[in-house]
Amino acid sequence: MALFDFKKLFGVHGNTAIGIDIGSSALKVVELKREGGKAILKAYGEIALGPYAGQSIGSIAMLSNTKIAEALKDVLKEASILTKESGVAIPFKSSLVTLIEMPALPEKKLAEIIPIEARKYIPVPIAEVTLDWWIVPKEKNDRVNKPKPEEEQKKPVGLETPRIVEKTDVLVVSIHNEILSNYNNVIKDNALNTSFFEIEMFSAARSLVVKSDTPTIIFDMGALGTKLYVIEKGIIRTSHVINRGSNDITQSLSKALGVEFVEAEKIKRNISTLKEADQVIVKEIVDLTLDYIWSETRNIINNFETKHGKHIGGVLLTGGGVSLPGFKEIAEQKLNIKAELGNPFGKVITPPFLSAALRDTAHEFAVATGAALRKLEELS
């Protein structure tokens, strides 16, 4: 242990962290400060990535590392963020998430055999990916047995009493090393001090406060896709991605109304300002994409409920796509579940001067806030 904590002594770093969410259409940052043991929102910012690829706001941008680094630099500048201590959330699509059933062995043993087992599920050589994994805790009313008690797990295998082999679910996440190296370059270009890259679902699950003990589904509708994570007592039980997002709505509007993407995006974002008759037409087109998403979401909910024998009690809506007017009510009606806009600042104190502006867009910052919370935790 160091005799002096130089960071604290000079008041640099130590108590401020940023979370970065690199999405397909927008990049978001959230800066949190720790004061008196509490996380305080210091700054936040969002920048559309489309213009960095010569495209309009809202489009999905395929960008080089240099361009992403440039966007990051710009948004940090706009938000007047100087902190270098950061954590980065990377897109769900950059990873492969697999639920593997393993024998209920001690963690150390699991760590040895997971890479071997994971070979069966990962379509590239295991040396090319970075693996991370979490044991999904079993619940009393799950259909499968509980893991062995700790003392029994410690017994040498040969001395165990004969028993039915118990199983445990392990969530294995693999990220291609090349993808990690690309994100590393983005970070290096901005001279940030980043200690982790995590898949966005872990960030969102950390920041969104799930009040109920019953399983809740996080519904993140971005531009590229809609991601669904079932959370129970703070832990991700399952994750899914539906390959339709808010960008598909803009594309449909553009085609059906015969207008450019940029115009269609404006129409989508301003539905409530249109004449009533136009609203009806636009909503019908919007529903074409949404209906597919609702039907997939219902399947995912039904499968979870059947497999685990329990109900999903609520849905938390996040991502820019859920900003459509009346989205909460539509979600409730289509899914027959209580829905609310996810509040990523439930564990964070938000200064009053930010509150009014934040109210409309807070749900877009779940991922960035979650990454910032983890980094802040690491610093303390």
Does 321 bind ligand ATP (CB under 6 A)? Our answer is: yes
Does 45 bind ligand ATP (CB under 6 A)? Our answer is: no
User: Is residue 371 within 8 Å of residue 47, measured between CB atoms?
Assistant: no
Does 223 bind ligand ATP (CB under 6 A)? Our answer is: yes
User: Residue 305 is inside which H or E element, if any?
Assistant: helix 276-308
Nearest to 78 by CA among 86, 88, 70, 67: 70
Does 222 bind Mg ion (CB under 5 A)? Our answer is: yes
323 binds, among ligand ATP, Mg ion, none (CB under 5 to 8 A by kind): ligand ATP
Nearer to Mg ion, 222 or 342 (CB): 222
Segment interacting with ligand ATP (CB under 6 A) among 71-79, 122-130, 143-151, 318-326: 318-326
List the one residue from 45, 50, 91, 314 that touches ligand ATP (CB under 6 A): 91
User: Residue 65 is inside which H or E element, if any?
Assistant: helix 65-78
List the one residue from 19, 87, 215, 222 that touches ligand ATP (CB under 6 A): 222
Q: Find the angle CA(58)-CA(62)-CA(67) to the nearest 5 degrees.
A: 95
Cα–Cα distance measured from residue 283 to residue 241, given in angstroms and rounded to the nearest whole number: 24
Does 23 bind Mg ion (CB under 5 A)? Our answer is: yes
Phi, then psi, of 349 in degrees rounded to 5: -85, 125
Nearer to ligand ATP, 110 or 199 (CB): 199
Edge-to-edge strand list for the sheet holding 314-318: 235-242, 226-232, 216-221, 314-318, 338-341
Does 344 bind ligand ATP (CB under 6 A)? Our answer is: no
Does 254 bind ligand ATP (CB under 6 A)? Our answer is: no
Cα–Cα distance measured from residue 46 to residue 173, given in angstroms and rounded to the nearest whole number: 27
Nearer to Mg ion, 32 or 89 (CB): 89
DSSP string, 166-222: PEEEEEEEEEEHHHHHHHHHHHHHTT-EEEEEEEHHHHHHHHS----SS-EEEEEE-
Nearer to ligand ATP, 215 or 320 (CB): 320
What residues contact residue 16 under an 8 Å CB cut-off, 6+ apart?
31, 32, 33, 34, 42, 83, 85, 376
List the one residue from 33, 192, 364, 370 that touches ligand ATP (CB under 6 A): 364
Nearer to ligand ATP, 87 or 222 (CB): 222
Binding mask 9-28 for ligand ATP (x = CB under 6 A): --------------xxxx--
Radius of gyration of the chain (CA): 22
Binding mask 262-301 for ligand ATP (x = CB under 6 A): ---x--xx--------------------------------
Minimum gap (Å) between residue 233 Cβ and ligand ATP: 25
Minimum gap (Å) between residue 319 Cβ and Mg ion: 5
List the one residue from 16, 247, 289, 369 that touches ligand ATP (CB under 6 A): 247
Does 370 bind ligand ATP (CB under 6 A)? Our answer is: no
Cα separations in angstroms, 360 against 63, 323, 325, 334, 341: 28, 8, 11, 23, 10
Look up residue 245 and give its DSSP letter. Answer: -
Segment interacting with Mg ion (CB under 5 A) among 40-48, 53-61, 218-226, 348-356: 218-226
Q: Where are the alpha helices (DSSP H) in 135-176?
A: 150-154
Phi, then psi, of 198 in degrees rounded to 5: -130, 155
Nearer to ligand ATP, 12 or 357 (CB): 357
Residues 156-185 close enough to bind ligand ATP by CB under 6 A: none
Contact residues for Mg ion, defined by CB under 5 A = 23, 222
Where does this chain bind ligand ATP (CB under 6 A)?
Answer: 23-26, 58, 91, 222-225, 245-247, 250, 265, 268-269, 319-321, 323-324, 364
